[in-house]
Structure 1
Amino acid sequence: MTRSPATPLPPPKARRRLREAAALTQTQLATRVNVTRATIRAWESGRTAPRGRKREAYARLLTTLAEEDAARRTRSALPPEPTPVLDPVSGPASGPASDTASGPVSDPVSGPEKGSEPEPGSGSEPEPEPVPEPAPEHPALTPAQAFDALYEFSAPALVRQAYLLTGRRELARESVERAFQTAWERWPEVARDRDPVGWVRATAYEFALSPWQRFRPRHRQPEPPPADPGDRTLLNTLLRLGPQHRRTLVLYDGVGLDLPETAAETEASTPAAANRLLHARETVAGRLPALADSRVLHQRLTELASAERLWAAKPTGVRKGGERRARFRTRAAIAFTVALIGATALTVRTAPTHYEPPVSPGVAVRGVPPRVAPGSLSEAERELRQKLRDRLQDGPERLEPRLE
């Protein structure tokens, strides 16, 4: 018996974009799917995935929202209809203008226009319209070439963004490399994503802001600060912010994302992302009043990230490094599994099949008083013994009921 494949769903970030494009809240969407708001939040963040009938209903609703969004985009892309020229006195223009719109007009000097048909008997044939040449087809890129192109396009900017988050040059480079290695391991998913750069950026930010980085020996010592005093002050101010506030500020004012996209990437609601952004701006403006304007802050963040000499490895080295790490993890998992199976087999082979109680060794007991032989009986004991001997050995007679 074979199981039917699950209904395909868009990525979690795309689900949230479709909902917000339709101007629906999580509560409204939950009501239409007949689930709770917490369930919709878990589906949009990727923590859980719908199953069964809920998955089918959710997929149909997302398909409907995607079609409505595509229709809205198509309507917005259409050119506006030409409006008739209005005469300030008599209304719509008439006469020659309307005649021009209704058909071809012949020039009194040069004759009919090129697009008009010739008169019969004139002997002139219409010139054939030139056939447009087909556009040259670009060869399809291999997965490795597509990965290298994505890396060369976005890696330098991502390294600078990671530097704003961590203040460490080596950690910024390593975070971006780890993110791209993870993307190469899951390349089919990343290649189909609507925003592959956003996918890699979210992974790099998670690695850079991981609290486990503080326990690594190479990251315990501080790195040399920027040479410019203004850049040093701005970087210290950013590092004093909380990780989520810092990430929201860099995404909105540094990268230039919209508020819903920033909220989706930080896995927070739009009001929560707005509150984090306002708090981060207030903190930065409290120490650097000149950066109260968002445009000035964006410019200063760009200058701070561009002033440092940050470099990124070659895409081939990153890809091969990820493959080596994947092979190492696979071999380690296989070795651990084989060792676990061997240990289990050895235990089953050598374990006893029944319980044998252990024999405790003999221990000398000390302090017990020696046995004393019985002595002569006293007069009272003799009388008691004689009295017992004189009594019946079988006890008293048996009582039987009798009729009188």
Structure 2
Amino acid sequence: MTQSPATPLPTPTERRRLRVARSLTQTQIAERVGVTRETVRSWETGRTAPRGRKREAYARLLAELGRSEKTGTADAAGAAARTKPDAPTKADARTKAEARASRASGALGTAPAASVAVQEAPRDQASGDGLDGGPGRDRPRSATEAFDALYAHSAPHLVRQTYLLTGRRTLARESVERAFQLAWARWPEVAVDPDPVSWVRAAAYEYAMSPWHRLRPAHRQPDAPPADADDRKLMDVLQSLPPAYRRTLLLYDGVGLDLPETAAETEASTPAAANRILHAREAVAEQLPDLAVPEQLHRRLTELAGAEKLDAPGSTLVRGAGEKRVRFWTRTAVAVTALIVGMTVLTLRVAPTHYDPTPAPGAPISGVPPLTGPGHLTDEDIALREALRKRLGGGPERLAPVAE
């Protein structure tokens, strides 16, 4: 479906301002348009642009928000929030129902459920974005509170996602813990990121997919399979896919990211990501024909992740372990540096300050005849030697002892 050039859209900054002015969250906008919260975030940051029917619905909703802002009436704002942007088809209704079911279960942590927004106070609902630093926040959060909010709303979903990616429960927990420890160590960078959940998810996936885990003794034995037979089949099919295909399929059909966002997170081009998704779907449908429909595949991935009781440790433990790790490596670096400096000083102290010159080559001394050996034989000497050898060739008669 191509993008309609006849539908005007405000700038990304104006889209965000219209939403915040009416005290609406990105999740509410996403539900009205029929997309995920991550898609609305991408539209407001300018990373992606809506197309087709979604563009028409989004443009009408923004126009309603703009008119309600001009009139200044609460009734108009409520009507804009309740307006159905477009007449949904049966496929759209089924897609929205699946999205609601996945958000209700919270197993895989779709974009609205795994987002950074903290929907626990009217202040955060007014700001709309919680930790993304958007306008409308009443007071700034401390670094600890912001990290704890990010961890509480995304860590459980990331553990389940990583489990589907690796098929190992312990590795899934460890990967998410390491990712959040890295995020805490680089919190000034993560805090200003437009999508910190994607930052942590990418770090967790990279750690979980590292080939060095194969050398660990704990990973020589396979993990216990799921209890349900259908879940075991789906897990086996997922683990049979190449790691890049498995990750792309999980992000697109499991988490619910858009194709450009999936390509950006997997560091691939959009056509390459699309081909990986298509080939992965074909491989899954070949062994599990019931999952040939993307909606069914999304539902089964959500059920498979929700069937496992995978809990993440508390954020305080993760922050403490991360700080302890940073202190350990810092002290190790200081100790190694001190050792190198000490060895250098010791070498300078024990090294000789001068060197004896190399003895000169020998020279002849006058007044002493040199030692000589026998000289070469002359022709006369050679002739005499030959004559003597011929003359005495037989030698004297051999004497034999005789008894007297």
TM range (shorter): 0.5 to 0.7
Determine the C-alpha separation between the residues in 2 that align with 1:137 and 1:374.
Answer: 112
Residue aligning to 1:30: none
Residues 255-334 of structure 1: matches in 2 within 5 Å? 255-334=255-334
Residues 144-183 of structure 1: matches in 2 within 5 Å? 144-183=144-183
One-letter amino acid matched to 1:297:
L
SS in 1 for 2:64: coil
Once the 2 structures are TM-superposed, how far is the Cα of residue 250 of structure 1 from its aligned partner? 0.3
Determine the C-alpha separation between the residues in 2 that align with 1:159 and 1:375.
Answer: 96
Higher helix share: 2
**% of aligned pairs identical?**
60
Determine the C-alpha separation between the residues in 2 that align with 1:282 and 1:175.
Answer: 29
Unaligned runs of 5+ in 1: 1-13, 24-72, 83-134, 360-369, 382-404
Residue 247 in 1 paired to residue 247 in 2? yes
**What's the RMSD between the two structures over aligned residues?**
3.3
Determine the C-alpha separation between the residues in 1 that align with 2:264 and 2:270.
Answer: 8
Q: 1:376 to 1:328 in 2, by over 3 A?
A: closer
Residue aligning to 1:234: 234
Q: Deviations over 1:282-303 (max 9, x none)?
A: 0000000000000000000000
Once the 2 structures are TM-superposed, how far is the Cα of residue 272 of structure 1 from its aligned partner? 0.3
Q: 1:355 to 1:157 in 2, by over 3 A?
A: same
One-letter amino acid matched to 1:335:
A
Determine the C-alpha separation between the residues in 1 that align with 2:150 and 2:307.
Answer: 24
Residue 78 in 1 paired to residue 63 in 2? yes
Q: 1:191 to 1:371 in 2, by over 3 A?
A: same
Determine the C-alpha separation between the residues in 1 that align with 2:203 and 2:376.
Answer: 97
Once the 2 structures are TM-superposed, how far is the Cα of residue 344 of structure 1 from its aligned partner? 1.6
Q: State the 4+ residue runs in structure 1 displaced beyond 6 angstroms.
A: 73-76, 374-381
Determine the C-alpha separation between the residues in 1 that align with 2:261 and 2:149.
Answer: 24
Unaligned runs of 5+ in 2: 1-41, 52-57, 68-125, 127-135, 360-370, 383-404
Determine the C-alpha separation between the residues in 2 that align with 1:175 and 1:351.
Answer: 49
Determine the C-alpha separation between the residues in 2 that align with 1:357 and 1:149.
Answer: 74
Q: Deviations over 1:191-221 (max 9, x none)?
A: 1111111111010000011111111112221
Q: 1:350 to 1:292 in 2, by over 3 A?
A: same
Once the 2 structures are TM-superposed, how far is the Cα of residue 145 of structure 1 from its aligned partner? 1.1
Determine the C-alpha separation between the residues in 2 that align with 1:245 and 1:319.
Answer: 32
Determine the C-alpha separation between the residues in 2 that align with 1:293 and 1:270.
Answer: 21
One-letter amino acid matched to 1:151:
Y
One-letter amino acid matched to 2:144:
A
Q: 1:380 to 1:318 in 2, by over 3 A?
A: closer
Q: Deviations over 1:305-339 (max 9, x none)?
A: 00011111000000000000000000000001111
Once the 2 structures are TM-superposed, how far is the Cα of residue 169 of structure 1 from its aligned partner? 0.4
Q: 1:294 to 1:75 in 2, by over 3 A?
A: closer
Once the 2 structures are TM-superposed, how far is the Cα of residue 223 of structure 1 from its aligned partner? 1.3
Residue 142 in 1 paired to residue 142 in 2? yes
Once the 2 structures are TM-superposed, how far is the Cα of residue 351 of structure 1 from its aligned partner? 2.5
Once the 2 structures are TM-superposed, how far is the Cα of residue 140 of structure 1 from its aligned partner? 3.1
Q: 1:19 to 1:250 in 2, by over 3 A?
A: closer
Q: Deviations over 1:141-198 (max 9, x none)?
A: 2111111111011110000000000000000001000000000001111111111111
Once the 2 structures are TM-superposed, how far is the Cα of residue 139 of structure 1 from its aligned partner? 4.3
Residues 173-212 of structure 1: matches in 2 within 5 Å? 173-212=173-212
Residue aligning to 1:116: none
Determine the C-alpha separation between the residues in 1 that align with 2:213 and 2:262.
Answer: 24
Q: 1:77 to 1:376 in 2, by over 3 A?
A: closer
Once the 2 structures are TM-superposed, how far is the Cα of residue 349 of structure 1 from its aligned partner? 2.5
SS in 2 for 1:78: helix
Residue aligning to 1:348: 348
Residues paired across the two proteins, number: 256
Q: Deviations over 1:335-360 (max 9, x none)?
A: 0111111112222222234555789x
Determine the C-alpha separation between the residues in 2 that align with 1:215 and 1:205.
Answer: 18
Residue aligning to 1:8: none
Residue aligning to 1:44: none
SS in 2 for 1:271: helix
Determine the C-alpha separation between the residues in 1 that align with 2:162 and 2:281.
Answer: 19
Residue 218 in 1 paired to residue 203 in 2? no
Residues 102-113 of structure 1: matches in 2 within 5 Å? none
Once the 2 structures are TM-superposed, how far is the Cα of residue 77 of structure 1 from its aligned partner? 2.3
Tell me the TM-score normalised to structure 1 length.
Answer: 0.58
SS in 1 for 2:274: helix
Residue aligning to 2:117: none
SS in 2 for 1:79: helix
